Amino acid sequence: MLSFLFNKHLEGLAGLIFAIFKWYNEEDQEMAESAKARTTMRFYNVVTLAMYFVLVIIILSSVVPMFLGA
């Protein structure tokens, strides 16, 4: 949702997925108008990494037992 606040557009499911997993690189952060926006982008990058980590854990916990025969 922060992507909507920064980019001012959110269209359908693809836009929602983009908003959830948006990564703000250094160029995006340098173009930010305020220090608060840069801090928010950095925080959101940490949240995005945490979501990816949880997603990988969920996938591994559902796939690994199939190969171990559990």
Say yes or no to pLDDT of 26 above 70: yes
Separation CA 64–CA 13 (nearest Å): 29
Residues 44-48, mean pLDDT to the nearest whole number: 88
Q: Is the pLDDT of residue 49 over 80?
A: yes
- The domain locations on the chain are 2-68
Residue 46 pLDDT greater than 70, yes or no: yes
Q: What is the pTM of this model?
A: 0.63
